[in-house]
A = this chain, B = another copy of it.
């Protein structure tokens, strides 16, 4: 199939495609009579089909050359499917427990066939809105972050392998440019795409556009995003890119994957948990469910995510000292020095994560794409109140990120901004 030209599939041509592709047909037990096919792309970018036969199942994801929810007026390279598939495979190699297996990739068709993440998995963001606790979430996500980021960095790779991967993912530049625009640019200037809970946040949005110190810090983060090829990052690790049950956590949709700063992934996840935290008051019933306990659970998950990530990442590092070419064992040859190095590395990564996390929060409140956590709060004044707390915290965090030394200090600051 790979030599054929691109054509968007529909329900009917999809079946023909499945029949003629052995690796996919096999997963369905070659049974096509009672196929159930459901299109579930939630509308942003791609077509996503769930395909279930009596003896198997899979997901087909096809990229189309524009942003689906906007239309052909916002073109978007369909090559993103190639980078999504590559990132899934590379991340899956290191963390198969949290990454769906790729069964098939067709570059011409921009089509990925992969494992179906079956019910009761739901999108994490929806679970957070519903107030569901996921006791293993921090454990699983920190595992995913530690394994994928470590093994694709110079802590594990030779500079030869690293540069070769960097070059490959430079090809995903259009997706990087989308991030540059929506995360690092649009929120800080007048843009037709921006919106916010008006009129309540009009002044807040304006203040951001006029905040020189904030813009100075954002420029530094953007420069790291554009220039620092630290690891193969997911590139869009918000709570909508994670599917969960109480016992399972699956990371999906790495179509923004490229060699960038590790903190961009860690920060995206933590930042979106903080958004979830500040949205809770908007979901609290007056009576029994005031979400007070749930907010505590979110704060614990934030702490655990970072602390477990720190432990897992440095544990893998301990086991692989000198494996990559960043710190050769002949030079970094005593425990004190190795410990110093790790401390320094993790401290920078912590500050990067806080900075990127804060930037991702800001853009979700005054930029083009908002989050359901807030959008689902019907009453605008209530929503604005939640959003303003999140915004004020994010601004403070972004500016003062280097003054934080551990995640518990961050959690204290989240509380302070919540009660102010």
Closest beta carbon of chain B to A211's beta carbon, Å: 10
Alpha-carbon distance between A331 and B221 when the two chains are bound, in angstroms: 14
Residue in B163, B212, B340 whose CB lies within 8 Å of A216: B340
Alpha-carbon distance between A332 and B177 when the two chains are bound, in angstroms: 18
A190 at the interface (CB under 8 A from B): yes
| Additional pairs, 14, CB under 8 Å, beyond known A159-B226, A170-B170, A227-B228 | A159-B176, A160-B173, A166-B167, A167-B171, A188-B331, A189-B328, A215-B331, A215-B337, A216-B341, A219-B326, A223-B326, A226-B325, A228-B228, A229-B229
Alpha-carbon distance between A229 and B224 when the two chains are bound, in angstroms: 10
B159 and A177 form a contact (CB under 8 A): yes
Cβ–Cβ < 8 Å partners of A333 in chain B: 189
Cβ–Cβ < 8 Å partners of A327 in chain B: 219
Binding site for B on A (CB under 8 A): 154, 159-160, 162-164, 166-168, 170-171, 173-174, 176-177, 180, 185, 188-190, 212, 215-216, 219-220, 222-223, 226-230, 325-328, 330-334, 336-337, 340-341, 344
Alpha-carbon distance between A42 and B7 when the two chains are bound, in angstroms: 59
Alpha-carbon distance between A219 and B330 when the two chains are bound, in angstroms: 13
A163 and B185 form a contact (CB under 8 A): no
Alpha-carbon distance between A226 and B326 when the two chains are bound, in angstroms: 9
A170 and B167 form a contact (CB under 8 A): yes
Closest beta carbon of chain B to A102's beta carbon, Å: 24
Closest beta carbon of chain B to A167's beta carbon, Å: 4
B177 and A212 form a contact (CB under 8 A): no
Can you list 8 A-B contacts with CB-CB less than 8 angstroms, sorted by A residue number? A159-B176, A164-B173, A170-B170, A188-B331, A216-B341, A220-B344, A223-B326, A227-B230
Cβ–Cβ < 8 Å partners of A341 in chain B: 216, 219
Alpha-carbon distance between A177 and B216 when the two chains are bound, in angstroms: 34
User: Given A154-B227, A170-B166, A216-B340, A326–B222 Cβ distance below 8 Å?
Assistant: yes
Closest beta carbon of chain B to A264's beta carbon, Å: 14
A216 and B337 form a contact (CB under 8 A): yes
Most buried by B among A168, A171, A333: A333
